[in-house]
Amino acid sequence: MYDQLAIELNEQNLQQVIEQSMQTPVVISFWAPSMPETAEVNQILEKLAASYHGQVTLATLDCESQPMVAGQFGVRSLPTVAVFKNGQPIDGAAGPQTEQSLAEMLGKHLPSQEELALKAALEQVDNQQYNEALPVLRELAAKFAQNSVINLAMAECLLGTSQYDEAEALLATIPMQDQDAKYKGLMAKLELHQQASDSPEIRLLEEKLAAEPGNNEIAYELAVQYSQVERAEEALELLINLLRKDMNFADGGAKKTMMDILAALGQGNAVASKYRRQLYSLLY
């Protein structure tokens, strides 16, 4: 039913399971087949343990078939649930339990759902799955203000998806004490992009457009130059403005350039989503 099955305890594997609690907490449910309420507790614990995605080990002990093992724990009533960490019991509950009471007990000793989400998102960042990680990190950043671990991971995603302006603004918020090697590496990547993306050709086109803001040919040429140096948002802004004036500008070249940039940015990119909506509103 769930993605994690409970280990059935016996004399042979008992010591090994308790030793597992040195790495991750172990929850033991003491139950008996003749008592349906204890089987219900097992089902609840399986559901809860599955939601922690490997951060907890669940074990069950059938006290009817393993009375000697049950006796070692001094269990006096069923159901009983015990939590082990570092080889020692640290919490437990005897008697009927609800999902809420069991969730509260586990919650005291296990990572929160937010911490699990952050761990998964950071793994995605390590695997360069930036578009997948970014929305999760944005949500977490809203809950944990000024968390440099989250903000640095977000900045890496933004750089990896060519959202340089937002990355620069985010890196500027990192306090001095958190400006570690990761921060310095991201800043170096940003500076390399800025150096590469500010060519004499681009500066000349920017000056020309500033002098002739209504010149669509210059605007289009500048948009193409921006797209070639990963200044996607600036390119898209110029292109959408051109298309608002003429959907077939440059024999359809403006529309094709814009769609190529959007495709390169990918589906999960916030900048792409913003300009994709604007383009669709013009097309349809």
One-character DSSP codes across 7-22 = EE--TTTHHHHHHHTT
**The pLDDT of residue 106 is above 60:** yes
Strand partners, 85: 88
Yes or no: say if 170 and 154 are a contact pair by the CB < 8 Å rule.
yes
Please give the CATH number for the structural domain made up of 7-107.
Answer: 3.40.30.10
Alpha carbons 223 and 283: distance in angstroms, whole number:
20
Q: Is the dihedral of CA 271, 273, 274, 280 positive or negative?
A: positive
Specify whether domain 200-283 bears CATH 3.30.70.1350. no
Tokens of 73: 């724990």
Instruction: Supply the DSSP symbol for 95.
Output: S
Fold matches, 113-193 and 200-283? yes
- For 144-172, the pLDDT digits (tens) are 888 999 999 999 999 998 888 899 999 99
**The pLDDT of residue 49 is above 60:** yes
Nearest to 161 by CA among 270, 41, 21, 77: 270
**The pLDDT of residue 2 is above 50:** no
**The pLDDT of residue 63 is above 50:** yes
Alpha carbons 221 and 226: distance in angstroms, whole number:
9
Residue 40's pLDDT is: 94
Alpha carbons 104 and 113: distance in angstroms, whole number:
13
Q: Element (H or E) spanning 176, and its range? A: none
- For 119-137, the pLDDT digits (tens) are 899 999 999 999 999 999 9
Each domain of the chain, given as residue ranges in start order, spans 7-107, 113-193, 200-283
Specify whether domain 113-193 bears CATH 1.25.40.10. yes
